[in-house]
Structure 1
Amino acid sequence: MAAADPSPSLFVRPLGAVEGNPTALKLILGGKLRELRSAAGLDPADVDVKLGFSRSKTSRIELGRHGCKPSDALALLELYGVEEEERVAEFMRLVAASRRPDWWRSFNDVLSDFFTPLVALEGAAATIRTYEPFYVPGLLQTPECTQAVIRSGPGRLLDHEIRRRVELRQQRQRQLDLPDAPRLWAVVDESVLMRSVGGEQVMRDQLHHLIAMMKRPRVTLQIAPLDVTASVGVGTGVSYLRFALGDLRDAVYIEHLTDSTFTQKPATVEQYRDMLDRLGACALTPKETGARLRASLEALG
């Protein structure tokens, strides 16, 4: 059996604030267990048999889809030859942290399954890059704008369901107020400014809010003129999560009408990163964007 990595830590670097995100920790721990298994020359099916796991349990743990119980973690580390007390203690501390409830679990009554991957991981990102062709990005919406956007969506929702979804979005936005908040870089289609979502007063307040948010050092907003989005060929909204940790792969989230695509496949992620790079290079600069927002505000009177 191959020996484990001799580095002082099992992980690429200290995880820092990510330790407060149980979903991210499950992915990181699963990825590390996959590396250790590979180094030990074992297949997932081999591990299932050796440890008496149910079929595919090892694969589910490695993909972050199955929380790792402390007893399972200890058994896996022993099987993979990780014996140093310091490393085992570090790993088990993170296992305990990964088993805490995520904050968004309290919104399960209104949180769609297809939206969960983005909500679960965006707070752990170093940078959130997003392009929106139809609405102001959710992380930059006022509560009134959020309510109008939700009401315009498919299906008929009860008032309390709308209120809960607004609260969920506000809770997501509060992550931008934290000391270790992700950097938000948003590109918005120019047509968004031409839609009066919720009426003139809602749009007026929303424009004021965008101008205020642009003053934050960790928020960048760019307006993409219509000819730019036509030439780049984006087609739909996308969110790209860039993680500073080598133990967690970057991800892309593309939302559709009734479902979404969430992937960490390197080839797909690279394609969308390239698209966002081209959009950012062709869009108005932040200074020009601020002027465009003020012009739109003046046009509303």
Structure 2
Amino acid sequence: MPTVLRRMLGLRLQQLRRERGLTQQQVGERIWASGSKISRMESGMGGLDQRDVLGLLKFYGVTDVVEHDKYLALIRLGEQPGWWHRDSDLLPKGFELLSLESAARTIRCYEPAVIPELLQTPEYARATLRLRYPHRSKAEIEQSLAVRLQRQRILHGENPPYLWTLIEESALRKQIGGIAVWREQIDRLRQAIESEHIIVQIVGKQVCGPAIAGGGFVYLRFIERLLPDVVCVSQPTSTLYLEGYTDIRSYLTIADRLAVEAMRPGETAERLRALC
């Protein structure tokens, strides 16, 4: 199982333990294991198998079979080097990103089609989800929306990650959800760039971003330096997670090139005002 995927699972188990006010040693003693084993599981530096994860979930009072399936599905994601997640009912869109983004020190993303997910308003996010999943029920859309909004909380907590986004100017002009929703979304962007930890660069049409990058992606660098960087590439029905050296280097080069050729961050506010 890839290191980052183990870390992602470990973070979720750590969160469950802390919510119950328990130490690693206390958990180990109560499930006939050692505190060091719990530490290895939570740090992502030790192996994770289905039996251990199910045992911890039951101990933490997570008895819902559907919830169990979500964790087991995450384990199965890591069975190949270029691990990927196919959208399904078990894992709402964005579920697997919750822990990855919360553990990130830097998030860099390029978005050619819509406003990046971490900066979307609720109504704009709902509209984009409906466009992408026209056959899903209202309940399924709302479930995915709730996950997306939960992911956004990392930008407003203590020690938020540094978010550096590159957005195609054509994406900014798309009035997804109608003009009122679109204007509210542009206002949200104007507010976001006032934060020191959020940078938004606009990629003009002369840059030919889609031809350079091929499509949107999210690049994650983690607080824990032992963890490899990860690139997330979203596709219509799945998300691919890359952590190989060649892949990481290629996407970092693309991000750097786009950043050099895009408008300066200081120009973003003026361009956003001109849109409306």
Scaled by the length of structure 2, what TM-score is found?
Answer: 0.70
Shift of 1:124: 0.3
Q: 1:234 aligns with which of 213, 221, 225?
A: 213
Aligned to 1:291: 270
Whether 2:195 is the aligned partner of 1:195: answer: no
Q: Take 1:229 and 1:119, find their aligned partners in 2: how far apart are those partners?
A: 31
Q: Take 1:121 and 1:266, find their aligned partners in 2: how far apart are those partners?
A: 18
8 Å Cα contact 2:109/2:165 also seen in 1 = yes
What aligned pairs does 1:213-224 form with structure 2 within 5 A after superposition? 213-224=192-203
Letter in 2 for 1:240: Y
Name the CA shift for 1:181/1:110 in 2 (closer, same or farther; >3 Å).
farther
Name the CA shift for 1:238/1:111 in 2 (closer, same or farther; >3 Å).
farther
Q: Take 1:112 and 1:131, find their aligned partners in 2: how far apart are those partners?
A: 24
Shift of 1:112: 3.9
Shift of 1:245: 2.1
8 Å Cα contact 1:131/1:238 also seen in 2 = yes
Aligned to 2:9: 23
Aligned to 1:165: 144
2:195 is paired with a residue whose SS is: coil
Q: 1:277 aligns with which of 248, 253, 256?
A: 256
Name the CA shift for 1:111/1:292 in 2 (closer, same or farther; >3 Å).
farther
Name the CA shift for 1:259/1:148 in 2 (closer, same or farther; >3 Å).
same
2:101 is paired with a residue whose SS is: helix
Q: Take 1:211 and 1:187, find their aligned partners in 2: how far apart are those partners?
A: 14
What RMSD over aligned residues (CA atoms) do the two structures have, in Å?
3.3
Shift of 1:257: 0.8
Aligned to 2:204: 225
Aligned to 1:124: 103
Shift of 1:141: 0.1
Shift of 1:122: 1.2
* Matched pairs, number: 220
Aligned to 2:49: none
Name the CA shift for 1:110/1:220 in 2 (closer, same or farther; >3 Å).
farther
2:107 is paired with a residue whose SS is: strand
> Of the two, which has the highest radius of gyration?
1
The runs of 5 or more residues in structure 1 that have no matched partner are 1-17, 27-68, 76-87
Q: Take 1:242 and 1:125, find their aligned partners in 2: how far apart are those partners?
A: 6
Letter in 2 for 1:285: R
What aligned pairs does 1:1-301 form with structure 2 within 5 A after superposition? 23=9, 91-92=36-37, 94-95=39-40, 97=42, 112=91, 115-230=94-209, 233-297=212-276
Shift of 1:116: 4.5
1:260 is paired with a residue whose SS is: strand
The runs of 5 or more residues in structure 2 that have no matched partner are 13-26, 44-52, 61-66, 71-87
Shift of 1:136: 0.2
Shift of 1:166: 1.4
2:215 is paired with a residue whose SS is: coil
Aligned to 1:63: none
Name the CA shift for 1:282/1:111 in 2 (closer, same or farther; >3 Å).
farther
8 Å Cα contact 1:137/1:186 also seen in 2 = yes
Shift of 1:231: 8.1
8 Å Cα contact 2:114/2:171 also seen in 1 = yes
Scaled by the length of structure 1, what TM-score is found?
Answer: 0.64
Name the CA shift for 1:106/1:70 in 2 (closer, same or farther; >3 Å).
closer
1:152 is paired with a residue whose SS is: helix
Name the CA shift for 1:24/1:182 in 2 (closer, same or farther; >3 Å).
farther
8 Å Cα contact 1:70/1:95 also seen in 2 = no
Q: Which has the larger displacement, 283-292 or 158-167?
A: 158-167
Name the CA shift for 1:111/1:175 in 2 (closer, same or farther; >3 Å).
farther
1:186 is paired with a residue whose SS is: strand
Q: Take 2:273 and 2:123, find their aligned partners in 1: how far apart are those partners?
A: 20
Name the CA shift for 1:252/1:168 in 2 (closer, same or farther; >3 Å).
same
Shift of 1:264: 0.8
Aligned to 2:15: none
